[in-house]
């Protein structure tokens, strides 16, 4: 996820920031370290975000809709629509929550009241791709190992979600997903599936399906680095197994994994997970999978053994030192910034605003190729609880410019926010300026109370 390039020098300085969010005391830690490529690093607080496919948030022809719910739903006893009184629908349960894209690039909590609405609050439609809820499941607190050197990773999450079709006439659940990434960039996301068998043509059919491990998604082109990835699961061009009435050749032709389709044959929803030649095919394509983690920097191991010191003496005569013409320097006006007390939004998220301490950059080097100031936030963590650094965003500004200084684009708090390295400002030649940024904060709905810490690393790259 992180783009890299060779530079002449690399400087990192820490920035500490504090905030409070509706009973949550939020703070950036007062130190920063340069990321290191550590072999087989243990990670915690990893986040998995996925909406399965657009059909999982579309309208249904019986007037209801398809939607996602946190946790494993109970047994309705028959093929019937859910009611709020059933208590089956959950926005959050344990480490699992359901969110959707709100207006103006915000993220809002999915609820019983808005589960059949778009992010703008209008009803979802069973036709086309314009009116969909865009709901997705978010698993937090994943743990495992990540090795950026070999490109491998294994991360598991605890918790469940339920995929509901036609308002509850049929539904199934997936529990405790496990991601395994191989060195060749291929990966699998598996989980234990369970649910109930239904028949659209016979509503008296209702049978319990034994729990079984299935492949939720096959992935290719995964890059294991120090912060995670977002990729489209294998779907387009994937052939369904023999016996499935798949229609190929269209722009949206494809299928979910074979064992996934076999399981869905029991639920009665199998045609919603492969191309069948109808107008709904574009909604069946697998949605992007996002996984975020943070690999901590580690010192290289020094092998033990016997050591013998050898003194080496040399005399260097004095010689005139030719100073470099001009210099590059930068500094931060303060080591903390207060975001104040956040408020809870209607969708259940927690928002706050503040300002980044001013950063002064000076570059009067002859022949300078310019500089770049970047920023990246790590996960917010607290005693095993965490949420992504994507909760932080900023709006850059540059004042008192000398030369041509280009400020970076605004970054909205949300996915990915400042969880990915973003540019505050840059030049392509010698130039100076005072850099500022308005900070925006948006904690996920259902965030547990507590004092959280994150590291916002400011990086200066001089060319």
pLDDT tens per residue across span 241-277: 999 999 998 999 999 999 999 999 999 999 999 999 9
Q: Please check whether residue 393 is in contact with residue 418, taking contact to mean a CB–CB distance below 8 angstroms.
A: yes
**C-alpha–C-alpha distance, residues 55 and 60, integer Å:** 9
In this predicted structure, what is the pLDDT of residue 20? 28
Q: Give the pLDDT confidence of 295-343 residue by residue, as tens digits.
A: 865 544 545 544 444 555 555 566 554 545 788 999 988 777 777 777 7
Q: Is residue 285 scored above 70 in pLDDT?
A: yes
Average pLDDT over every residue of 34-58: 80
Burial 282-298 (b: 16+ CB within 10 A, else e): bbbbbbebbbbbbbeee
pLDDT band with cut points at 50, 70 and 90 for residue 14: very low
Q: Is residue 360 scored above 80 in pLDDT?
A: yes
In this predicted structure, what is the pLDDT of residue 309? 46
Q: Give the pLDDT confidence of 137-176 residue by residue, as tens digits.
A: 999 999 999 999 899 999 999 999 999 999 999 999 999 9
Nearest Cα neighbor of 421 from 227, 140, 229, 244 is 227
Please give the C-alpha separations between residue 211 and each of 172, 191, 261, 328, in angstroms, as whole numbers. Answer: 10, 10, 15, 62
Q: Across the strands, what pairs with 381?
A: 386, 453
Distance from the Cα of residue 348 to its chain's centroid: 19
Q: Give the pLDDT confidence of 51-79 residue by residue, as tens digits.
A: 999 999 999 988 999 999 999 999 999 99
Pairing relationship of beta strands 432-443 and 328-332 according to DSSP bridges: unpaired
Average pLDDT, the chain: 84
Give me the percent of the chain exceeding a pLDDT of 90: 59
**C-alpha–C-alpha distance, residues 174 and 84, integer Å:** 22
**C-alpha–C-alpha distance, residues 347 and 351, integer Å:** 11
Average pLDDT over every residue of 202-230: 93
In this predicted structure, what is the pLDDT of residue 37? 38
Q: Please check whether residue 420 is in contact with residue 1, taking contact to mean a CB–CB distance below 8 angstroms.
A: yes
Q: Which residues contact 166 (CB under 8 A, 6 or more apart)?
A: 60, 62, 64, 66, 81
In this predicted structure, what is the pLDDT of residue 23? 26
Average pLDDT over every residue of 366-395: 85
Please give the C-alpha separations between residue 321 and each of 317, 318, 324, 364, 367, in angstroms, as whole numbers. Answer: 12, 9, 9, 20, 20
In this predicted structure, what is the pLDDT of residue 1? 36
Tokens of 345: 């939004």
Q: Please check whether residue 318 is in contact with residue 411, taking contact to mean a CB–CB distance below 8 angstroms.
A: no
Average pLDDT over every residue of 367-371: 90
Least confident interval from 119-133, 282-296, 444-458: 444-458
What global pTM score does this model have? 0.59
pLDDT band with cut points at 50, 70 and 90 for residue 380: confident
Average pLDDT over every residue of 383-388: 80
Q: Give the pLDDT confidence of 79-88 residue by residue, as tens digits.
A: 999 999 999 9
Average pLDDT over every residue of 276-303: 82
CB atoms within 10 A of CB 60: 20
Q: Please check whether residue 241 is in contact with residue 258, taking contact to mean a CB–CB distance below 8 angstroms.
A: yes
In this predicted structure, what is the pLDDT of residue 134? 95
Q: Is residue 17 scored above 80 in pLDDT?
A: no
**C-alpha–C-alpha distance, residues 333 and 340, integer Å:** 19
Least confident interval from 70-79, 94-103, 279-288, 452-461: 452-461
183: left (phi over 0), alpha (psi -120 to 50) or beta: alpha
Q: Is residue 18 scored above 70 in pLDDT?
A: no
Q: Give the pLDDT confidence of 403-449 residue by residue, as tens digits.
A: 999 999 999 888 788 888 899 999 999 999 999 998 888 888 777 77
- Greater pLDDT, 344 or 68: 68
Give me the percent of the chain exceeding a pLDDT of 70: 84
Pairing relationship of beta strands 228-231 and 289-292 according to DSSP bridges: antiparallel
Average pLDDT over every residue of 347-358: 83
Q: Please check whether residue 132 is in contact with residue 96, taking contact to mean a CB–CB distance below 8 angstroms.
A: no
In this predicted structure, what is the pLDDT of residue 281? 96
From the CA atom positions of the chain, what is the Rg in Å? Answer: 26
Q: Please check whether residue 66 is in contact with residue 57, taking contact to mean a CB–CB distance below 8 angstroms.
A: yes
**C-alpha–C-alpha distance, residues 353 and 341, integer Å:** 9
Average pLDDT over every residue of 30-43: 49
In this predicted structure, what is the pLDDT of residue 399? 94
Least confident interval from 139-148, 169-178, 179-188, 375-384: 375-384
Average pLDDT over every residue of 115-137: 95
In this predicted structure, what is the pLDDT of residue 201? 77
Ranges of each domain in the chain: 9-35+324-462, 42-292
In this predicted structure, what is the pLDDT of residue 290? 96
In this predicted structure, what is the pLDDT of residue 316? 57
Burial 372-394 (b: 16+ CB within 10 A, else e): bbbbbbbbbbbeebbbbbbbbbb
Q: Which residues contact 271 (CB under 8 A, 6 or more apart)?
A: 245
Note the maximum CA span of the chain: 97
């Amino acid at each position: 996820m992180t783009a890299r390039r060779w530079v002449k020098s690399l400087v990192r300085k820490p920035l500490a920031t504090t905030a409070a969010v509706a009973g949550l005391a939020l703070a950036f830690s007062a130190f920063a370290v340069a990321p290191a490529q550590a072999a087989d690093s243990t990670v915690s607080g990893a986040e998995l975000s996925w909406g399965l496919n657009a059909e999982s948030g579309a309208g249904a022809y019986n007037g209801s809709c398809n939607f996602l719910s946190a946790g494993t739903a109970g047994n309705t006893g028959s093929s019937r629509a859910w009611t709020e009184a059933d208590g089956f629908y959950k926005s959050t349960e344990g480490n699992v929550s359901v969110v959707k894209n709100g207006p103006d690039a915000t993220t809002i909590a999915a609820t019983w009241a808005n589960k059949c609405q778009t992010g703008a609050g209008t009803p979802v439609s069973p036709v086309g791709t314009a009116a969909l809820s865009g709901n997705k499941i978010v698993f937090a607190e994943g743990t495992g190992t990540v090795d950026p050197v070999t490109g491998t990773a294994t991360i598991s999450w605890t918790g469940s979600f339920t995929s509901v079709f036609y308002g509850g006439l049929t539904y199934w659940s997936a529990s405790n997903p496990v991601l395994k990434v191989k060195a060749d960039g291929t990966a699998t996301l598996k989980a234990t599936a369970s649910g109930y068998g239904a028949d659209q043509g016979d509503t008296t059919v209702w049978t319990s399906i034994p729990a079984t491990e299935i492949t939720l998604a096959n992935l290719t082109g995964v890059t294991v680095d120090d912060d995670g990835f977002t990729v489209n699961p294998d779907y387009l061009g994937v052939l369904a197994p023999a016996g499935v009435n798949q229609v190929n050749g269209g722009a949206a032709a494809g299928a979910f994994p074979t064992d996934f389709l076999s399981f869905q044959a029991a639920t009665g929803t199998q045609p919603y997970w492969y191309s069948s030649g109808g107008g709904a095919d574009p909604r069946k394509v697998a949605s992007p999978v996002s996984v975020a983690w943070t690999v901590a920097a580690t010192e290289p191991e020094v092998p033990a053994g016997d050591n013998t010191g050898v003194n080496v003496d040399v005399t260097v005569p004095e010689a005139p030192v030719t100073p470099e013409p001009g210099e590059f320097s930068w500094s931060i006006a303060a080591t903390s910034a207060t975001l104040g007390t956040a408020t809870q939004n209607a969708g259940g998220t927690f928002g706050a605003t503040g300002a980044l301490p001013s950063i002064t950059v000076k570059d009067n080097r002859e022949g300078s190729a310019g500089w770049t100031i970047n920023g990246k936030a790590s996960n917010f963590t607290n005693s095993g609880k965490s949420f992504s650094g994507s909760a932080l965003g900023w709006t850059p500004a540059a004042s008192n410019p000398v030369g041509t200084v280009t400020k970076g684009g605004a970054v909205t708090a949300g996915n990915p926010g400042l969880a990915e390295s973003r540019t505050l400002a840059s030049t392509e030649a010698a130039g100076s300026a005072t850099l500022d940024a308005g900070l925006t904060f948006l904690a996920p709905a259902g965030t547990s109370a507590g004092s959280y810490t994150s590291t916002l690393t400011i990086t200066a790259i001089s060319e």
